[in-house]
Chains A and B, each alone.
Chain A
Amino acid sequence: MWEYTDKVREHFLNPKNTGEIENPDGVAEVGSIACGDALKLSFKLDENKRIADARFKTFGCASAIASASALTEILKGKTIEEAMKITNQDIADYLGGLPPEKMHCSVLGQEALEKAIENYQGVSHKKPDEEIVCVCFGVTDGEIERAVRQNHLTTVEEVTNYTKAGGGCGNCHDKIQAIIDRIYATKKPEEGPAERPKISNIQKIRMIEETIEREIRPSLKHDGGDIELVDVVGNRVLVAMRGACATCQASQATMKGFVEWKLKEFVSPDLIVEEVAS
């Protein structure tokens, strides 16, 4: 059984804003029955160009229904500009989190929203260059790249959880890994780690603190979490997660992927991050 939050259960058992709007200002349908979930979203604006009503129809599991219900609640009262800033993480946060394997339900919501806004604006942001990577679920390289960047994904498994790419025959795993590698390779600074001068322990700890403060904490705080440096033993950086991160099932992935990567980049490539109970 999935570990759903009470909020997910509430929105699944009593979904809000179901149905379709007649003569909508924006409408879109994403997903497919073959893929196991699909979402049709429509919205209408009021005279102040704010979203007065948003409705959905969903084919999918409990978290797909809850994500769509949450999205329509988030949308109400927003301007188009505000709505464009809504991410899949906002949907998941609204529901108090989703199991990692179910994050693709929130991504489906974000996709439906983007397409519905495109429909309203009468433009298509479709990038013609995008190429289908996952044939089983029809996921493009652009979609994978956006999910990796927005959600700091670092493994093929995480990409599958968020986009479904790679969840079928598995033939595209190498391609997905290549996309991940390319994204993080281009983010690395010019100078190689070999040219980094030897640093003392005191310098190292100070740099770790600075990096956490400057590069890591703001991102975690954005998601309602926090991090505390507990100790540094050799190259082992012992940290404790706080706030939302402490209870988040994805925090292990966040730790390894994001915190360690930042510390390796800015302090020393030899560092290993470990989560400890504080």
Chain B
Amino acid sequence: MKEVYLDNNATTMVAGEVLDEMLPYFHDFYGNPSSMHSFGGQVARKLTEARQRVAALLGADPEEIIFTSCGTESDNTAITSALANNPTKNHIITSRVEHPAVKVLCEHLAQKGYRVTMLPVNAEGLLDMDEYEASLTPDTAVVSIMWANNETGVIFPVEEAAHLARERGIPFHTDAVQAVGKIPITMKSNSIDMLSLSGHKLHAPKGVGVLYVRKGTRFSPFLIGGHQEKGRRGGTENVPSIIALGKACELAGGNMEKENTHVRSLRDRLEAELLRAIPQSKVNGTIKKRLPNTTNISFEFIEGESILLLMDQYGICASSGSACTSGSLQPSHVLRAMGVPYTMAHGSIRFSLSVYNTAEDIDLVIRELPPIIAKLRVLSPYWATSQGACATA
């Protein structure tokens, strides 16, 4: 059975071109880029190329790119660096819908004595920019707001938010793990000081990430050790993965248009057909400012894990914000922050596409999912009740 992979916000396939580019650097060209000999030197040149390719995708300078081990390391580095460089300030601003890499770190910092403002979102998953602006104080050490939400795909106005922070001299970080490669980003024309990205979300392997740090930003390293990354991140470079990430960024730049035409139209058709075929279903998050590849749909009165496991029978891969799949007993913090009712939150499914999806993939889901939903609803004690209520209302 062929997988129909619609879980690209979780991780992506390493692109064939990316794999080809990285493979020689395991066995044939295994030299250390820091070495004096030319065997290592050729690897160093390849790293330089990778750095240029990442910078090109971000509209940044190569020297503003620091390679890390993952998005989480980039997020942790950015926030702790900003705090270390503003030792007299005690206030952090973030949102209630951040990825755990930022959210849990901020909760941890709150326990250590920092005052943390977690900005709420409305029912559409959007921030109130007036409330954001009002939360900026002379005591604010750092702002960290994601560029696009991993669960709903909702895009935040981080460039505007960064501008407001810059006016007050407050460093601004964004977790752009889901945004990079899907929407155009030009760091040269915005005020964002630090940006995190992750390789495995854009068809590079797991275990490599980037922290962009704007030239002139005061910076303290997270990993202290060797002189790698100009002393900003100790540790021998993950050479094959960095080379892979460079290639993946080059591909992403070329695929940006396809992402916003082909992928967007597949996503829109999937969403429209499911909403049409399945009663009492609803999209979570605004559809006006959203990543082109993501849709988060709730199916009322049933539970997400059951839906996922029944879809698994057909090779369909997606994810859910239900309690049973979130690793806790509560449904997704993102959906709860948006005030999505429990009847809807437990039955939420996220489909996230990539340029490798086809019309046939979408056809299969449109064909197989409605009967799955119907089967689970027959089992649900709430479904019949709700239908009765509707009939008499």
Contact = CB atoms under 8 A, between A and B. Distances in A.
A184 interface: no
A36 B313 contact: no
Given A13-B313, A36-B323, A167-B329, A64 B381 contact: no
Interface in A126-180: 136-137, 160, 164, 167-168
Given A61-B303, A62-B305, A29 B329 contact: no
Interface string A18-40: 10000000000100011111111
Contact of A164 (B306, B329, B346, B378): B329
B343 A36 contact: no
A157 to B, nearest CB: 12
Contact of B306 (A61, A136, A168): A61
Contacts of B304: 61
B306 A57 contact: no
B346 A58 contact: no
B25 to A, nearest CB: 32
A36 B331 contact: yes
A15 interface: yes
A2 B303 CA distance: 15
A36 to B, nearest CB: 4
Contact of A37 (B303, B310, B313, B328): B303
B309 A59 contact: no
Interface in B21-66: none
B147 interface: no
A59 B313 contact: no
A33 B301 contact: yes
A225 interface: no
Contact of B378 (A18, A36, A37): A18
Interface in A234-274: none
B253 to A, nearest CB: 34
A22 to B, nearest CB: 13
A77 interface: no
A60 B301 contact: no
A59 B299 CA distance: 12
A58 B379 contact: yes
B111 to A, nearest CB: 13
B324 A33 contact: no
Interface in B278-308: 301-306
A39 B382 CA distance: 10
Nearest to A34: B342
A83 B343 CA distance: 32
A182 B342 CA distance: 35
A277 to B, nearest CB: 29
A65 B306 contact: yes
B191 interface: no
A43 interface: no
B369 to A, nearest CB: 16
B380 interface: yes
B379 A33 contact: no
A23 B282 CA distance: 36
A64 B329 CA distance: 13
What is the size category of the interface that chain A forms with chain B? Answer: 20 to 34
Interface string B196-214: 0000000000000000000
A113 to B, nearest CB: 16
B301 A36 contact: no
Nearest to B305: A61
A60 B306 contact: yes
A15 B306 contact: no
A40 B330 CA distance: 21
B322 interface: yes
A62 B330 CA distance: 16
B343 to A, nearest CB: 5
Most buried by A among B330, B343, B346, B379: B379
Contacts of A12: 306, 309
B379 A15 contact: yes
A36 B328 CA distance: 11
Given A13-B313, A168-B330, A29 B303 contact: no
A36 B304 CA distance: 10
Interface string A54-75: 0001111110110000000000
A18 B305 contact: no
B342 A33 contact: yes
Given A34-B342, A36-B324, A62-B305, A57 B329 contact: no
Contact of B322 (A15, A36, A164): A36
B303 A59 contact: yes
Interface string B2-21: 00000000000000000000
B62 to A, nearest CB: 40
Contacts of B329: 35-36, 136-137, 160, 164, 167-168
A59 B328 contact: no
Nearest to B344: A33
B381 A57 contact: yes
B206 to A, nearest CB: 17
A62 B331 contact: no
A49 to B, nearest CB: 27
Given A167-B328, A167-B330, A36 B303 contact: yes
Given A60-B303, A61-B303, A64-B303, A38 B382 contact: yes
B368 to A, nearest CB: 14
Contacts of A167: 328-330
Interface of B: 301-306, 309-310, 313, 322-324, 328-331, 342-343, 346, 378-382, 384
Interface of A: 2, 12-13, 15, 18, 29, 33-40, 57-62, 64-65, 136-137, 160, 164, 167-168
- Closest CB pairs A-B (n = 5): A167-B329, A61-B324, A61-B305, A57-B381, A36-B323
14 contacts: A35-B329, A36-B303, A36-B324, A38-B382, A39-B381, A59-B346, A59-B382, A60-B324, A65-B379, A137-B329, A160-B329, A164-B329, A167-B329, A168-B330
